[in-house]
């Protein structure tokens, strides 16, 4: 359900919650409200008007972060591996296209005439192999701690989620982009998805379990979402 309040498009979701929650979804100002079922649209409108100053600040923050970088994967660009920054340098490939690290430089060996898509594919394959190695390291650690075991895991390049879990099949997916983040972020996402094997939602039981296993998880989550 959508309503327009002073020219602002507001999505309203009425559900079983105790309080009104407000989120700004885009720099254009689209706002999402989740509110108790008993709350009237008039009350919601008044609430949104009282938050206009805060909404504008959030829109400005989103705009600052919404700079789209069209990567070409050429010399001089920055890439990230497990929280560390590297300067990219392209070289002609003598064999198969690959990426290697030396100091603060990531060397991308690529064939003559390669496109940006070709170079991106090579970098992503490199990310995938390195991420697999780390998952094989950290997943058993958290399986032992929690006593929870997925039936299968897979890496997937996702735009909107760091991980996901099929609670029916027991399979979990981890975002390829985690290869760019510090190791603690990967551990958090692994724990998050393992916990969903036991607790499907993000309610009280989920929060208590996460607090028990990783007390700092909310700070890690907030840091990740700034990325």
Go through the chain and tell me how many residues it has: 227
Domain boundaries, the chain: 2-65, 78-128, 131-225
SS (H, E, C) 1-61: CEEEECCEEEEEEEECCCCCEEEECCCCCCEEEEEECCCCHHHHHHHHHHCHHHHHHHHHH
One digit per residue, pLDDT tens: the chain, 227 residues? 778 877 778 888 888 888 888 888 765 556 888 888 888 888 888 888 898 888 888 777 766 554 445 689 999 999 999 999 999 999 999 899 999 999 999 999 999 999 999 999 999 999 999 999 999 999 999 999 999 999 999 999 998 899 999 999 999 999 999 999 999 999 999 999 999 999 999 999 999 999 999 999 999 988 887 65
This prediction has a pTM of 0.71
Q: Quick one: CATH architecture of 131-225?
A: 2-Layer Sandwich (3.30)
How many CB atoms lie under 10 A from the CB of residue 169? Answer: 10
Cα dist. 128→98, 132, 155 in Å?
Answer: 12, 6, 7
Residues whose CB falls within 8 Å of the CB of residue 45, separated by 6 or more in sequence, listed in order = 3, 5
């Amino acid at each position: 359900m959508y309503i327009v309040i002073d020219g602002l498009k507001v999505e309203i979701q009425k559900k079983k919650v105790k309080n009104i929650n407000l989120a700004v979804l885009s720099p254009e100002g689209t706002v999402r409200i989740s509110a108790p079922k008993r709350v009237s649209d008039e009350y919601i409108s008044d609430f949104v008007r009282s938050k206009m100053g805060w909404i504008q600040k959030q829109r400005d923050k989103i705009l600052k972060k919404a700079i789209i970088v069209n990567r070409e994967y050429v010399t001089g660009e920055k890439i990230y591996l497990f929280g560390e920054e590297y300067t990219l340098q392209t070289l002609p490939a003598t064999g198969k296209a690959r990426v290697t690290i030396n100091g603060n430089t990531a060397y991308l060996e690529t064939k003559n005439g390669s496109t940006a898509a070709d170079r991106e594919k090579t970098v992503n394959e490199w990310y995938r192999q390195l991420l697999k190695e780390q998952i094989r390291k950290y997943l058993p650690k958290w399986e032992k701690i929690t006593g929870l075991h997925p039936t299968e895991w897979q890496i997937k390049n996702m735009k909107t989620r760091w991980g996901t879990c099929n609670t029916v099949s027991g399979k979990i997916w981890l975002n390829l982009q985690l290869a760019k983040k510090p190791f603690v972020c990967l551990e958090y996402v692994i724990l998050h998805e393992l916990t969903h094997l036991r607790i499907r939602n993000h309610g009280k039981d989920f929060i208590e379990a996460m607090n028990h296993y990783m007390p700092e998880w909310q700070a890690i989550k907030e840091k990740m979402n700034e990325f």
